[in-house]
């Protein structure tokens, strides 16, 4: 049972306030108290509007980073609880916190600061149960004191500025003289829900040593070096330096370098992404910022003098989700692709699923999360993470049922009120995926009404004759097949009404299944009928009887085939059209965010597994492996983020760490290695092993930590024989579908199994 206190105190904060354009030093707040008897147990419940790090008697409480995370602070904020029994003592005690601006009042996306409020605020309650059973409570109230800390500036996008000369040694210790500190200001937020977070906290998950240090123009006056971590990631650096009192060291960050070896920071747009540290002595000093994070591979350090020694360590930050999956195969570049996908997930699952971690954006774009969630569920346990984000999404839902483009919602960000096809639909697709992968009925029940309201909104406001995003409506029709190479939406490419109607059909199909799971019989009927009408409307408008489709882009065919929108008799010719386009492009894809996740699956399921493998193994532009051939260590936002002919794409939108195209990961687990969930028995109660070998791959393996234990598969092809070993966890069963479809499936019980088949039909 979670400990859920009623907070008896008030929100407290400093008297100094920044502005929409500049911040003030992060405040310290503190309070002394005495305990006169032995203690049995002490629980601290704590949160902030903004960010906090809490200390008791000079020792940091917990190991969470950027707490309490990001929510729509007008509605909801999460608190954390810590057992702090060991930090307390009989006699004098002190509790303190340092408060950061974070999402609450720092820069969020492209907007001025102070999106939710003008200064960080803190709420805490310490409940000490004495040995004799009596409970002593310390709450935040007007008796607390505050003063500016050495953190002169702190911002998630801009970076942090720290002057060690201003440190107040022992500021959170008992007996510290706080006589010259000011009284705090007190605030009330009676309508704000303060709840326990369902999400795993952000922590320091790893450390990365630099792989190279490139010294540049070191001189006695300044000095400058670029450090390469060899990996694009999200986090910050820990600096160890022996400088001199008053010396300021500047750190800038970038994902890639310009051809001349300098940092390429243009794609960060307005995000300053710069940290400053001012030394307090000539001794060795160690510093890591508290209230910022960057997306980077390279760090430029300046302010170092000739001969001064320094060290820099990369600190990886993300939501602390257990790693559940692994994938490997005989193709080294595909193994690197898997690594890049995992790094894309680590880099963008920082309390909220973000589009990117580096530029002045870092928002919970619904479309991106929807596209990637299936793959995310293989790599890590994202159940709690998505429970939290689904609440963010529900908090962002408009009274008319519309689901916006971004969650959490944020006043200052021009949130698109209705995210449009493939973006807003995250509200149905994400809980459904969590249900399939974890057998989690609760997430369906929690959000069912909100999903229904969303579909009602779409039906009433975004459809004409069952065509969603119908051009006659003259309303925002969505982002199209975002960043597709054959055009997005209005600039040609896959038509928005086609994408809209395809996802409308998909939503209603999922809803009828969810209604079945939840036992809502009437709704099952309703959504099944609606689905039938949408499919008819789709066919009338977009599909000719012989399977040709208006527009004819790859995504057009991919969506129609994947969502079952093509009449059975025309499927083969539609699939042929898709392949024709791929071949016309010299075996290259042209799909954007919307079509890419299903591209290989559609090819594989419609008789073109060979073409699917050609695309997966394609190394020339555009392809998954092209960035890897060019040194990528994460997934790029755009297929053409950089090309030898054109160099960098448009600096205004060119992230090298967007996870969307990493959605191919689910196909590598499910089809290349051959481990997948059975949608009829969610949560891996029954496992499907169905490897479909192809291309140049001679062996593959995947493992997955399911709720019931580890499931795994390995296969290899040797002299025309396909050999496979699988592990079926206790309490589950599995079916193995042999690579030759002429062979019968094998039902497997829990345990280890070795199977083999000749690869030529006998
Ligand atoms: C984001 C995307 C997002 C898109 C919406 C971009 O700026 O980075 O990933 O989905 O806007 O079209």
DSSP 245-279: TT-EEEEEEESEE-TTSSEE-GGGTT---EEEEE-
Structure tokens given for 52? 């906090």
What span, in angstroms and rounded, lies between the C-alpha atoms of 225 and 249? 12
State which H helix or E strand residue 568 sits in.
helix 568-584
Q: How far is the CA of 413 from the centre of ligand 1 (A)?
A: 13
Mutate to test the pocket of ligand 1, among 476, 481, 482 (most ligand atoms within 8 A of CB): 482
CA–CA separation, 445 and 447 (whole Å): 6
Kindly report the protein residue whose alpha carbon is nearest to atom 12 of ligand 1. 479
Rounded Cα distance, 198 and 718, in Å: 47
**H or E, element range at 182:** strand 182-183
The closest of 374, 426, 416, 413 to 659, measured between CA atoms, is: 374
Q: What is the reported pLDDT for 6? A: 82
CA of 390 to the centre of ligand 1 (A): 19
Q: Which atom of ligand 1 is nearest to the CA of 653?
A: 7
Residues paired with residue 703 on neighbouring β-strands, in sequence order: 326, 712
Q: 419 near 403, Cβ under 8 Å?
A: yes
Q: How far is CA 640 from CA 6, 201, 404, 672, in A?
A: 52, 34, 28, 26
Q: Strand 463-464 relative to strand 352-353: parallel, antiparallel, unpaired?
A: unpaired
Distance CA 222, CA 220 (A): 6
Pairing between β-strand 647-648 and β-strand 642-643 as defined by DSSP bridges: antiparallel
Closest by Cα among 482, 503, 494 to 557? 494
Nearest-atom number in ligand 1 for the CA of 423 is 10
Q: What angle do CA 177, 179, 185 make, to 5 degrees?
A: 120
- The interaxial angle of helices 596-605 and 366-379, nearest 10 deg, is 60
Per the listing, tokens 């609450």 go with 104
Question: How far is Cα 676 from Cα 690, in angstroms, rounded to an integer?
Answer: 8
Q: Is the dihedral of CA 27, 33, 37, 42 positive or negative?
A: negative
Q: Give the distance (Å) from ligand 1 centre to CA of residue 183.
A: 44
- Predicted pLDDT at 2: 42
CB 182 within 8 A of CB 145: yes
Q: How many CB atoms lie within 10 A of CB 449?
A: 11
Kind of pairing, strands 193-196 and 263-264?
Answer: unpaired
Q: CA-to-CA distance for 520 and 448, rounded, in angstroms?
A: 10
Low-confidence ranges of the chain (pLDDT < 70): 1-5, 217-223, 412-413, 488-491, 761-762
Contact 200, 65 (CB under 8 A): no
The predicted pLDDT at position 3 comes to 47
Nearest CA to ligand 1 atom 2: 355
**Cα→Cα distances 390→366, 382, 393, 407, 428, Å:** 10, 12, 5, 9, 10
Q: Given ligand 1 and candidates 368, 404, 597, which is best to mutate, with the most ligand atoms within 8 Å of its CB?
A: 368
Instruction: Give the total residue count for the chain.
Output: 762
Q: Is the CB of 368 under 6 A from ligand 1?
A: yes
CB 314 within 8 A of CB 210: yes
**Residue 233 · residue 356 · CB < 8 Å:** no
Q: How far is CA 396 from CA 50, 201, 407, in A?
A: 19, 22, 6
C-alpha of residue 356 to centroid of ligand 1, in Å: 9
CA distance 201 to 69: 8
> How distant, in Å, are the alpha carbons of 327, 349, 390 from that of 596?
20, 21, 24
* Residue with CA nearest ligand 1 atom 9: 355
Please indicate whether residue 659, judged by its CB atom, sits closer than 6 Å to ligand 1: no
Nearest CA to ligand 1 atom 5: 479
Query: Residues 694, 695, 697, 703: is their CA dihedral positive or negative?
Result: negative
Closest of 377, 380, 252 to residue 319, by C-alpha: 380
Q: Which residues contact 660 (CB under 8 A, 6 or more apart)?
A: 367, 368, 371, 372, 593, 596, 635, 637
Return the residue whose CA atom lies nearest to atom 6 of ligand 1.
355
Residue 394's alpha-carbon distances to 174, 362, 402, 408, 427, in angstroms, are: 43, 19, 10, 9, 8
Please count the other Cβ atoms lying within 10 Å of the Cβ belonging to residue 63: 10
Quick one: 596 exposed, middle or buried, by C-beta within 10 A (0-12, 13-18, 19+)? buried
Cis peptide before 622 (omega within 30 of 0): yes
CB distance 509 to ligand 1 below 6 Å = no
- Residue located nearest, by CA, to atom 1 of ligand 1: 355
Q: Which helix (H) or strand (E) holds 375?
A: helix 366-379
Which mutation among 270, 352, 355, 356 tests ligand 1's pocket best, with the greatest number of atoms within 8 A of CB? 355
Token pair 């209604």 is found at 515
pLDDT tens-digit readout, 282-323: 999 999 999 999 999 999 999 998 888 899 999 999 999 999
Cβ atoms of 674 and 684 closer than 8 Å: no
CA–centroid distance, residue 637 to ligand 1 (Å): 9
3-state secondary structure of 332: helix
CA atoms within 13 A on the CB side of 592: 23
Residue 4: what pLDDT? Answer: 54
96 neighbors 28 (Cβ within 8 angstroms): yes
Cα distance between residue 301 and residue 239, in whole Å: 10
CA–centroid distance, 489 to ligand 1, in Å, is 14
Burial class (CB in 10 A: 0-12, 13-18, 19+), 380: buried
Ligand 1 atom showing the smallest separation from residue 658 Cα: 9
**Which of the residues are catalytic?**
361, 637
CA of 586 to the centre of ligand 1 (A): 28
163 lines ligand 1 (CB under 6 A): no
Which two tokens mark 702?
């995947």
Rounded CA gap, 732 and 752, in Å?
12
A 10 A CB-CB count for 750 gives 16
Q: Is 273 left (phi over 0), alpha (psi -120 to 50) or beta?
A: left
Q: Which residues contact 612 (CB under 8 A, 6 or more apart)?
A: 599, 600, 601, 603, 604, 667, 671, 694
Find residue 226's DSSP bridge partners.
214, 300
Q: Judge whether 741 and 760 are in contact, CB under 8 Å.
A: no
SS3 553: coil
Q: For every residue of 503-541, which 3-state class applies, written as one string?
A: HHHHHHHHHHHHHHHCCCHHHHHHHHHHHHHHHHHHHHH
Q: Which residue in this structure is represented by tokens 């774009």?
A: 365
What is the helix, strand, coil percentage profile of the chain, to 5?
25, 30, 40
Per residue, the 3-state secondary structure of 112-163, as one string, reads CCCCCCCCCEEEEEEEEEECCCCEEEEECCCCCEEEECCEEEEECCCEEEEE
Whether the full predicted model's pTM is greater than 0.85, yes or no, is yes
Encoded tokens for 571: 């499927």
Residues in Cβ contact with 485 at an 8 Å cutoff, skipping those fewer than 6 apart: 589, 590, 591, 592, 622, 639, 640
CA 363 vs CA 273, 356, 357, 405, 689: distances in Å? 16, 7, 9, 10, 36
B/e letters for 65-75, b = 16+ CB within 10 Å, e = fewer, are: bbbbbbbbbbb
* Residue 457: C-alpha distances to residues 231, 370, 424 (Å): 43, 19, 11
| C-alpha 19 chain-centroid distance | 30
Q: What is the pLDDT of residue 547?
A: 87
Per-residue pLDDT, 114 = 94
């Amino acid at each position: 049972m979670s400990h859920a206190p009623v907070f008896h105190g008030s929100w407290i904060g400093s008297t100094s306030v920044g502005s929409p354009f500049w911040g003030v030093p992060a405040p310290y707040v503190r309070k002394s108290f005495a305990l006169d008897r032995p203690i049995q147990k002490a629980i601290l419940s704590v949160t902030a509007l903004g960010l906090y790090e809490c200390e008791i008697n000079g020792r940091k409480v917990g190991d969470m980073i950027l707490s309490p995370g990001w929510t729509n602070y007008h509605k909801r904020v999460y608190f954390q609880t810590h057992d702090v029994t060991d930090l307390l003592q009989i006699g004098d005690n002190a509790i303190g916190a340092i408060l950061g601006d974070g999402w609450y009042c720092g820069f969020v996306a492209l907007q001025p600061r102070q999106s939710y409020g003008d200064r960080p605020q803190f709420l805490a309650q310490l409940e000490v149960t004495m040995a004799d059973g009596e409970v002593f409570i310390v709450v935040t109230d007007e008796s607390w004191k505050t003063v500016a800390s050495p953190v002169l500036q702190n911002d998630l996008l801009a970076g942090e500025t720290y002057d060690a000369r201003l440190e107040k040694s022992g500021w959170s210790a008992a007996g510290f003289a706080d006589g010259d500190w000011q009284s705090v200001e007190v605030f009330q937020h009676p309508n704000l829900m303060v709840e326990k977070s369902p999400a795993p906290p952000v922590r320091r998950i790893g450390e990365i040593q630099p792989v190279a240090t490139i010294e540049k123009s070191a001189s006695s006056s300044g000095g400058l070096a670029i450090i390469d971590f060899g990996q694009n990631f999200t986090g910050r650096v820990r600096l160890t330096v022996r400088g001199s009192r008053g010396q300021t060291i500047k750190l800038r960050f970038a994902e890639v370098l310009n051809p001349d070896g300098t940092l390429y920071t243009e794609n960060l747009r307005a995000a300053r992404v710069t940290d400053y540290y001012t030394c307090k002595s000539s001794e060795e000093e160690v510093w890591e910022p508290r209230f910022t994070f960057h997306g980077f591979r390279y760090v430029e350090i300046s302010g170092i003098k000739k001969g001064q020694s320094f060290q820099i360590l990369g600190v990886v930050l993300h939501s602390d989700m257990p790693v559940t999956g692994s994938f490997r195969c005989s193709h080294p570049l595909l193994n690197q692709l898997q690594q890049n996908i995992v790094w894309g997930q680590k880099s963008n699952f920082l309390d909220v699923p973000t589009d990117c971690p580096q530029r002045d954006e870092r928002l919970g774009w619904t479309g991106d999360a929807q596209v990637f969630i299936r793959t995310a569920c293989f790599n890590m346990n994202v159940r709690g993470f998505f429970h939290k984000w689904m609440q963010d999404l529900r908090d962002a839902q408009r009274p008319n049922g519309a689901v916006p483009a971004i969650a959490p919602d944020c006043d200052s960000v021009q949130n698109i009120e209705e995210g449009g096809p493939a973006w807003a639909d995250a509200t149905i697709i994400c809980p459904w995926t969590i249900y399939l992968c974890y057998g989690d009925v609760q997430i369906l029940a929690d959000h069912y009404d909100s999903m229904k309201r969303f579909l009602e909104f779409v039906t009433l406001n975004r459809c004409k004759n069952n065509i969603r995003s119908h051009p006659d409506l003259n309303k925002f029709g969505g982002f199209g097949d975002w960043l597709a190479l054959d055009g997005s939406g209005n600039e040609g490419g896959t038509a928005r009404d086609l994408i809209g109607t395809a996802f409308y059909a998909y939503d209603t199909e999922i809803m009828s299944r969810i209604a079945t799971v939840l036992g809502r019989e009437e709704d099952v009927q309703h959504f099944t009928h609606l689905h039938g009408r949408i499919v008819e409307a789709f066919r009338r408008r977009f599909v000719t009887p012989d399977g040709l489709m208006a527009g004819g882009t790859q995504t057009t065919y991919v969506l129609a085939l994947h969502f079952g929108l093509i009449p059975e008799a025309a499927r083969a010719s539609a699939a042929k059209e898709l392949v024709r386009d791929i071949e016309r492009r010299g075996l290259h894809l042209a799909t954007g965010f919307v079509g890419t996740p299903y591209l290989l699956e559609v090819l594989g399921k419609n008789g073109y597994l060979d073409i699917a493998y050609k695309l997966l193994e394609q190394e020339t532009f555009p392809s998954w492996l092209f960035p890897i051939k060019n040194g990528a260590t994460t997934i790029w936002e755009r297929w053409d983020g950089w090309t030898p002919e054109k160099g960098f794409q448009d600096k205004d939108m060119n992230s090298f760490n967007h996870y969307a195209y990493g959605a191919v990961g689910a196909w590598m687990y499910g089809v290349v290695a051959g481990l997948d969930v059975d949608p009829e028995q969610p949560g891996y109660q029954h496992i499907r092993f169905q490897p479909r070998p192809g291309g140049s791959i001679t062996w593959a393996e995947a493992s997955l930590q399911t709720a019931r234990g580890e499931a795994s598969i390995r296969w290899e092809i040797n002299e025309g024989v396909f050999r496979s070993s699988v592990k079926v966890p206790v309490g589950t069963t599995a079916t193995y579908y042999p690579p030759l479809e002429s062979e019968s499936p094998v039902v497997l019980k829990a345990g280890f199994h070795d199977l083999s088949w000749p690869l030529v039909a006998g």
